[in-house]
């Protein structure tokens, strides 16, 4: 946590990320790096941190805790309504106090250390102070909780998933939980009906189908489905979940919004140049992106990234596409969202819409 990164969020863009080209895609490689640019280290303390892997890791962890502390307070104000202040101006005043406190810690505590052991103890104590506990924070905490039983059950599942495995296409282990994923592949007839109803309309379906069928046959496209009487009318609908390999299953490194858009565009362009086999290899490493649809009365409803899950007597959708970006801005934060499928479409337009019930706020970057 350098004198630079304490004062300015933009200093995050100078962090050292090792980038490798794997399958033609930009891939962040985990490195032990301080939370500031070690090439600009000027003081003895900063140089000592950069030369010590443990201290570098602690400095990076403190940077996460420091930013997380501020963002969670902002979330409490804007989303939860549980902050000790009521306006963004009051939050900004509180934030100035946090920055001043961190500067004092740097000067009076960290910089007073003369040994690596002293520095390590100082860092761990400060991280614990910001996190509110000595043990590491869990991966997620609840940001929106409109159904305590449902949200609590999902939070338990998310927090037992190893952090290294979390991403936009993670498949969680639901064993022993009240959630059941859809694991049955759709029949050929249902696949044909689904594809006929799916856009695009041009070129005609008869021209598109051979290529689509080949993707199914090669294992590059998968459709899962389960029948369910959602609205209690005695007629079975189909809840379908389409799986495809995607560049979006691999998170892109942090940066400004413009930098991330550029990186996403580069990844997309490289992706479409890959043949089927490299895309399948990528999926085996990073997972499959999934889209949920509702097939009812010969029409497709809903169109959302996510995964269908059975919970007691209802169906919910877990959406984790926000984990694609590694956010480091003051207004964006990685999260996962759990939606409930209502028993009826909206009354004013007859359209089916998922209802957000739970939001899970990611405690790291």
pLDDT in tens, 159-197: 999 998 888 899 999 999 999 999 999 999 999 999 999
**Residues 71 and 208 grouped into a single domain:** no
CA–CA dist 276, 23 (Å, integer): 12
Percent share of the chain, pLDDT over 90 = 63
**Residues 117 and 199 grouped into a single domain:** no
**Residues 149 and 118 grouped into a single domain:** no
- List strands edge to edge, sheet with 140-145: 140-145, 355-362, 335-340, 314-319, 307-311, 179-181
pLDDT at 213 over 80: yes
Binning pLDDT at 50, 70 and 90, where does residue 86 land? confident
Q: For 7-49, how does the pLDDT look when each residue is reduced to its tens digit (9 = 90+)?
A: 333 332 332 222 222 233 333 323 345 678 888 888 999 999 9
Q: How many domains does the chain have?
A: 2
**Residues 132 and 151 grouped into a single domain:** no
**Least-confidence region, from 9-23, 134-148, 161-175, 215-229:** 9-23
**Residues 152 and 110 grouped into a single domain:** no
What string of H, E and C letters represents the secondary structure of 177-239? Answer: CCEEECCCECCHHHHHHHHHHCCCCCCCHHHHHHHHHHHHHCCCCEEEEEEECCCCCCCCEEE
Instruction: Examine the fold and report which residue of 86, 119, 136 is the final residue of a domain before the chain moves on.
Output: 136
**Residues 42 and 152 grouped into a single domain:** no
Give residue 127's domain range: 3-136
Q: For 247-280, how does the pLDDT look when each residue is reduced to its tens digit (9 = 90+)?
A: 999 888 777 778 888 888 999 999 999 998 999 9
**Residues 224 and 316 grouped into a single domain:** yes
Distance of CA 10 to the CA centre of its chain: 21
Instruction: Examine the fold and report which residue of 113, 136, 159 is the final residue of a domain before the chain moves on.
Output: 136
Q: Which residue has the higher pLDDT, 52 or 329?
A: 52
**Residues 99 and 149 grouped into a single domain:** no
Residue range 324-339: average pLDDT?
69
Structure confidence at residue 252 (pLDDT): 80
The angle at the Cα of 247, spanning 243 to 250, to the nearest 5 degrees, equals: 100
Structure confidence at residue 332 (pLDDT): 53
**Residues 198 and 342 grouped into a single domain:** yes
Residue range 48-72: average pLDDT?
92
pLDDT at 228 over 50: yes
Return contacts of 171-179, CB within 8 angstroms, 24+ apart: 171/287, 171/307, 172/318, 174/309, 177/153, 178/153, 178/311, 178/312, 179/153, 179/154, 179/309, 179/310, 179/311, 179/316
Distance of CA 158 to the CA centre of its chain: 11
**Residues 127 and 262 grouped into a single domain:** no
């Amino acid at each position: 946590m350098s004198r630079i990164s304490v004062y300015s969020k933009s200093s995050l863009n100078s962090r050292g990320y090792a980038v490798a080209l794997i399958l033609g895609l930009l891939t962040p490689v985990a490195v032990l790096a301080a939370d500031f640019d070690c090439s600009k280290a000027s003081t003895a303390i900063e140089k000592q941190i950069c030369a010590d892997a443990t201290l570098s890791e602690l400095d990076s962890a403190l940077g996460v805790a420091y930013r997380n502390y501020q963002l969670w307070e902002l979330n409490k104000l804007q989303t939860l309504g549980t902050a000790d202040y009521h306006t963004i101006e009051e939050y900004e005043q509180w934030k100035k106090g946090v920055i001043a406190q961190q500067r004092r810690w740097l000067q009076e505590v960290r910089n007073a250390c003369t040994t690596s052991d002293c520095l390590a103890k100082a860092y761990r104590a400060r991280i614990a102070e910001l996190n509110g506990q000595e043990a590491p924070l869990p991966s997620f905490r609840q940001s929106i909780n409109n159904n305590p039983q449902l949200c609590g059950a999902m939070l338990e599942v998310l927090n037992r998933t190893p952090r290294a495995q979390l991403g936009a296409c993670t498949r969680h282990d639901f064993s022993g939980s009240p959630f059941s994923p859809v694991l049955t592949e759709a029949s050929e007839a249902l696949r044909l009906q689904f594809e006929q109803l799916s856009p695009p309309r041009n070129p005609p379906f008869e021209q598109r189908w051979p290529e689509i069928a080949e993707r199914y046959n090669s294992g590059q496209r998968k459709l899962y489905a389960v029948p369910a009487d959602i609205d209690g009318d005695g007629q079975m609908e189909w809840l379908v979940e389409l799986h495809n390999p995607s560049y979006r299953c691999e998170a892109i490194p942090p940066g400004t919004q413009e930098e991330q858009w550029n990186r996403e565009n580069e990844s997309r362009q490289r992706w479409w140049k890959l043949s089927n086999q490299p895309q399948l290899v990528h999926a085996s490493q990073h997972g499959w992106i999934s889209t949920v649809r509702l097939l009812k009365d010969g029409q497709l409803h809903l169109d959302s990234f996510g995964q269908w899950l059975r919970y007691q007597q209802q169906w919910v959708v877990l959406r984790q596409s926000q984990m694609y970006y590694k956010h480091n801005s003051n207004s964006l934060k990685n999260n996962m969202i759990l939606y409930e499928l209502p028993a009826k479409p909206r009354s004013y337009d007859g359209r089916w819409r998922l209802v957000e019930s739970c939001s899970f706020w990611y405690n790291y970057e």
